[in-house]
């Protein structure tokens, strides 16, 4: 099988923790051919097909020069057995346009995971609105007065932009309302942009749990990202400490409830964020934490992913 990974620049990878690297390593270990390109290298022209400047690579096992380029060629995307979209957020305009090119590639016969249409239909902050039975008190608005009323009701709240990643732009406002007006103006750009507001969940002290769902089935361990020092954010990018732990009954119930639904829509890999008993985000663009879970528990998440990828491709051939 020849797999094309659409990624950020390979030189930017921190391979000791990079999930895409773990996927590549497992695929190569099984004898699959690995190639890579960046979204900017994709294009389409009238009378042609979606193509990209693609590097065929071999992983070397060395920590610094971890890959070598075997050759570079311009290739149609449908010529690969599978395409794994692994471009990190933010889900900005260029990411959106890339999903449209991938949708066209799928029309031409490409097998893309996660399905590009599903990436567009499941924005990571807003996708939880479909599942209100699993979330805490939440408000999505650009109206400052609505945010103030939500704060008056719940007293201790979290505000965050809809296009943030890695904990960027997240604010907590306690009962005293300190700086609420300034934070609203910063996030909603004086009413021009929509904001998500959620009741603060004290269980964040035990971690913001990343629950991975692969092929509709939960990985048996989550990675609890625990805030450090005076931080309210547990994100690893914001300095949180990652602690792998078995799924709780509630974690598993949420994952088993959502997993088959999301998988049926073409989402092979999903990262659910759970604080305490509440679902807070559904991550579909480039979910991570494979290596942290493997390093701490020995459970091979990358192997589970490549298993699911191989099964999906077999199913597509039969279908």
Residues of the chain with CATH 3.30.1490.20: 137-200
The per-residue pLDDT for 315 is: 87
Told to judge if 283 belongs to the known catalytic residues of this protein, a careful annotator would answer: yes
The per-residue pLDDT for 230 is: 64
Told to judge if 148 belongs to the known catalytic residues of this protein, a careful annotator would answer: no
Residue ranges in the chain modelled with pLDDT below 50: none
The per-residue pLDDT for 238 is: 61
Told to judge if 92 belongs to the known catalytic residues of this protein, a careful annotator would answer: no
Is domain 137-200 given the CATH code 3.30.1490.20 in the classification?
Answer: yes
| Options 51, 225, 235, 292, the catalytic residue | 225
Going from the C-alpha of 18 to that of each of 5, 8, 10, 64, the distances in angstroms are: 13, 11, 11, 14
The per-residue pLDDT for 319 is: 62
CA-wise closest residue to 271 among 206, 225, 202, 203: 225
The per-residue pLDDT for 193 is: 95
CATH architecture of the domain 2-114 equals 3-Layer(aba) Sandwich (3.40)
Residues of the chain with CATH 3.40.50.20: 2-114
Percentage of the chain modeled with pLDDT above 90: 89
Told to judge if 233 belongs to the known catalytic residues of this protein, a careful annotator would answer: yes
C-alpha to C-alpha distance for 312 and 117, rounded to whole angstroms: 17
The per-residue pLDDT for 36 is: 98
The per-residue pLDDT for 258 is: 98
pTM of the model: 0.94
Residues of the chain with CATH 3.30.470.20: 203-318
| Options 51, 124, 251, 281, the catalytic residue | 281
The per-residue pLDDT for 62 is: 94
The per-residue pLDDT for 132 is: 97
| Options 233, 235, 251, 292, the catalytic residue | 233
Fold of 203-318: D-amino Acid Aminotransferase; Chain A, domain 1 (3.30.470)
The per-residue pLDDT for 237 is: 67
């Amino acid at each position: 099988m020849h797999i094309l990974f659409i990624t950020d620049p390979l030189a930017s990878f921190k391979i000791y923790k990079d999930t895409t690297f773990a996927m590549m390593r497992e695929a190569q270990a099984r004898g699959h051919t690995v190639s890579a390109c960046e979204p900017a290298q994709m294009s389409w022209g009238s009378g042609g097909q979606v193509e990209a400047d693609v590097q065929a690579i071999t992983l070397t096992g060395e920590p610094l020069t971890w890959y070598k380029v075997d050759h570079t060629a311009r290739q149609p995307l449908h010529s690969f057995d599978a395409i794994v979209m692994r471009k990190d957020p933010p889900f900005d305009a260029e990411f959106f346009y890339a999903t449209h090119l991938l949708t066209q590639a799928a029309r031409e016969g490409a097998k893309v995971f996660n399905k590009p249409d599903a990436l567009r239909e499941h924005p990571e902050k807003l996708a939880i609105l479909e599942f209100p039975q699993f979330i805490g008190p939440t408000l999505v608005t650009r109206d400052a007065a609505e945010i103030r009323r939500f704060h008056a009701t719940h007293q201790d709240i979290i505000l965050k932009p809809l296009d943030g990643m890695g904990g960027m732009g997240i604010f907590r406002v306690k009962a005293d309302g300190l700086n609420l007006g300034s934070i609203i103006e910063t996030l909603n750009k004086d009413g021009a942009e929509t904001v998500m507001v959620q009741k603060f969940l004290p269980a964040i002290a035990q971690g913001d749990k990343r629950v991975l769902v692969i092929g509709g089935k939960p990985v048996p361990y989550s990675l609890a990202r625990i805030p450090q020092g005076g931080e309210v954010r547990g994100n690893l990018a914001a300095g949180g400490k990652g602690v792998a732990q078995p799924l709780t009954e509630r974690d598993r119930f949420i994952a088993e409830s959502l997993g088959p639904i999301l998988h049926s829509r073409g989402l092979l890999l999903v990262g659910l964020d759970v604080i305490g008993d509440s679902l807070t985000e559904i991550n579909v663009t480039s979910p991570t934490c494979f290596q942290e879970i493997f390093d701490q528990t020995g459970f091979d998440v990358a192997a589970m992913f490549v298993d699911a990828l191989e099964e999906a491709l077999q199913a597509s051939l039969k279908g």
